[in-house]
Amino acid sequence: MPSRTPLIICFIASSTAAFIYVINKCLAKTQLVQHVPEEYLWLPHALTNILGYMIVLLPGYLTYKYVQKVNYLNYGGEGFCMRMIGICFGEEEFILNPQKERRPSILRYLKTGVMEQVSTIHEAVKPLSWLIGRWRSVNAEATYPTMAPFNYCEEISFETLGQPLLNYTSKTWHPLTHKPMHLESGFLRIKPGTNEIAFMVAHNFGLTSLEEGTVHSNEVIFKSKQITRMTFASDPAVLAIERCFKLKDNGNLEVSVSMETTKTPLTHHLKSELQKV
């Protein structure tokens, strides 16, 4: 996120407001407005009121579109401008996932409440209950020896339907172009009465993985046991995956992934921090 972004936001808001203000003042001094027949006096008043509202609405709209375009709330830091944008517009207005179904927040909360009432957590998955919910990235970064580092946006969901497992989905998208990137879906199971877990995941680039591990308090660690891929998948082939989900002290979810391919030994690849939404 360029450091000049807050300055650009301030410039957009202030210059647009100043421009409309000047137009309003100039219009008020014209002969056309000052010598209007009495029966048409409502017209200049209406025009003045419209321009008055535009001093607020137009800068707000242009600022909104710019903040949305550059994904400022995900990568804008913690400055004053960041806090003001969040207060004025609300963070959820800037979720830049084109695949996400958009709905008013109140409906989402109602849906969540209904699902919590209907979907009782199975006794077997209670050690994993802290994972249940929808999580959205605060920051996310990918690094690997064969590619340039890049940031991405991510949303993860662990859902319970009352069965002895959790349904899992993950979707990522580019923070600027909003184009979908990596997609995953699968199931997380636990061996009843133990801390042994199995994670079965299908990836959108033609890969499936069976990962097994353990759950310890607020942390789960997996290592791949079996990986299969479609016959026409691109090289290099993925040979191993290790991943960790950890609930941090601040309530956020930290996800880290390491990967081994036919060209690169097991190396750190992905790290993200997500908030529950």
What whole-number distance in Å separates Cα of residue 171 and Cα of residue 154? 6
At 94 the pLDDT is: 45
Q: What is the DSSP string of 182-243?
A: EEEEEEEEE-TTSSEEEEEEEETTTEEEEEEEEEETTEEEEEEEEEEE-TTPPSSPEEEEEE
- The phi, psi pair for 220, rounded to 5°, reads -125, 140
* 137 has pLDDT over 80: yes
C-alpha distances out from residue 19 to 13, 23, 24, 81, Å: 10, 6, 9, 22
Helix, strand, coil content of the chain in percent (nearest 5) = 35, 35, 25
At 95 the pLDDT is: 45
pLDDT in tens, 175-228: 999 999 999 999 999 998 899 999 999 999 999 999 999 999 899 999 999 999
At 197 the pLDDT is: 96
Quick check: bond before 236 cis, omega within 30?
A: yes
Say which residue, 226 or 29, is predicted with more confidence: 226
Residue entry with tokens 């709330």? 73
What whole-number distance in Å separates Cα of residue 172 and Cα of residue 154? 4
Say which residue, 81 or 134, is predicted with more confidence: 134
Do the beta carbons of residue 171 and residue 154 sit within 8 Å?
Answer: yes
> Worst-scoring range by mean pLDDT, 107-121, 123-137, 225-239?
107-121
pLDDT in tens, 156-187: 999 998 888 999 999 999 999 999 999 999 99
Q: Which domains does the chain have, with CATH numbers?
A: 5-94 (no CATH), 119-276 (2.40.128.20)
pTM score above 0.85 = no
Confidence of residue 102 (pLDDT cuts 50, 70, 90): very low
**Strand ranges in 32-124 using DSSP code E only, listed in sequence order:** none
What whole-number distance in Å separates Cα of residue 193 and Cα of residue 226? 24
DSSP 8-state symbol, 120? P
* 243 has pLDDT over 80: yes
